């Protein structure tokens, strides 16, 4: 069941605007995107070994994975003994990331400030719960467009698009 947002501009449409510009305009005007997820537009430019959220269930506990996503929430509760929790979103769903204190200290600036993260980690499955224990965290970078076949390239320069997304990405919910 979907939650109705009842935003006054929810049905506003941008006619004859390329999908990347439409998504950026929706973020600027609405604060969210109604036309899709940014990763759907960047799919061909994302690092090739990324595991999407919808594939994590298929993998074994302890598998090493690379994930990337839009930061939805960051949480660093005082009762968590220095552990930080990051909720990432890709075009297929949400991923829970657990950041150990040593990884947080090393990658603190990225964890706290980047709206789009690339994470290398270990898959942890326990009673139906899927988490990624981060071992490395970096800002998300896209592949160089000239390295891709022309037909697979995003219409706009993916570097420019990701840079614009960073400037217009919805803010995360941060606690602690």
Residue 33 placed within a domain: no
User: Any idea which of 1-10, 65-74, 128-137 has the lowest mean pLDDT?
Assistant: 1-10
CATH number, residue 75: 2.40.50.140
Total structural domains within the chain: 1
Grouping H, G, I as helix, E, B as strand and the rest as coil, residue 96 is strand
pLDDT for position 54: 95
pLDDT for position 153: 43
Do 140 and 116 meet the contact criterion of CB atoms below 8 Å apart? yes
Residue 13 placed within a domain: no
pTM: predicted TM-score of the whole model, two decimal places = 0.79
Residue 150 placed within a domain: no
Residue 27 placed within a domain: no
Average pLDDT, whole number, for the chain?
Answer: 84
Mean pLDDT in residue range 71-76: 93
pLDDT at 136 over 70: yes
User: Any idea which of 13-22, 88-97, 124-133 has the lowest mean pLDDT?
Assistant: 13-22
- Reported as a single tens digit per residue, the pLDDT across 76-124 is 988 889 999 999 999 999 999 999 999 999 999 999 999 999 999 999 9
Distance of CA 90 to the CA centre of its chain: 5
pLDDT at 63 over 90: yes
Residue 173 placed within a domain: no
Instruction: Quote the domain boundaries for residue 89.
Output: 47-142
Residue 175 placed within a domain: no
Residue 116 placed within a domain: yes
| Packing angle, helices 158-168 and 19-30, rounded to 10 | 10
Residue 172 placed within a domain: no
């Amino acid at each position: 069941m979907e939650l109705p947002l009842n935003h006054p501009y929810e049905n506003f449409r941008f006619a004859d605007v390329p999908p990347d510009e439409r998504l950026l305009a929706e973020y600027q005007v609405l604060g969210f995107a109604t036309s899709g997820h940014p990763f759907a537009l960047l799919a061909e430019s994302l690092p090739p070994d990324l595991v999407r959220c919808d594939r994590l269930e298929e993998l074994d506990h302890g598998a090493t994975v690379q994930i990337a996503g839009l930061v939805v929430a960051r949480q660093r509760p005082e009762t968590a003994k220095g552990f930080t929790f990051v909720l990432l979103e890709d075009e297929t769903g949400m991923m829970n990331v657990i950041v150990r204190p040593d990884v947080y200290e090393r990658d603190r600036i990225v964890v706290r400030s980047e709206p789009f993260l690339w994470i290398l980690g270990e898959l942890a499955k326990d009673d139906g719960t899927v988490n990624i224990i981060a071992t490395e965290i970096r800002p998300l970078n896209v592949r160089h467009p000239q390295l891709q076949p022309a037909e697979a390239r995003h219409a706009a320069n993916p570097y420019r698009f990701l840079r614009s997304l960073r400037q217009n990405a919805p803010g995360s919910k941060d606690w602690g």
